[in-house]
Amino acid sequence: MAWLTVAEAAAEAKRHSRTISDACRAKTLHGVQRSVNASWRIEDVCLDAWVRGTSCPHQQTNVIPFRQSA
């Protein structure tokens, strides 16, 4: 598991860095920011899944959300 910057992810995915940033903001690519307006960090497995068009391991879950009764 390796963390990539937006520039590194863009180079690996052969996409523009703006495309990577936009995908992180839109939550179609799983990325992490440590604070508001900080740079994005993307796990290599998440980038690979995004390029393939599949969901990354972080998006695959079998947890059922808790619902409160009305």
Summarize pLDDT for 8-35 with one digit per residue, the tens.
999 999 999 999 999 999 989 999 998 8
pLDDT given for residue 56 in this prediction: 83
Residue 62 has pLDDT above 60, yes or no: no
Maximum Cα–Cα distance across the chain: 49
Structure tokens belonging to residue 64: 């059922």
Q: Which residue has the higher pLDDT, 57 or 43?
A: 43
Domain ranges (residues) in the chain? 3-52
Q: How confident is the model at residue 66, as a pLDDT?
A: 59
Contact 12, 46 (CB under 8 A): no
3-52, CATH topology level: Multidrug-efflux Transporter Regulator; Chain: A; Domain 2 (1.10.1660)
The overall average pLDDT reported for the chain is 87
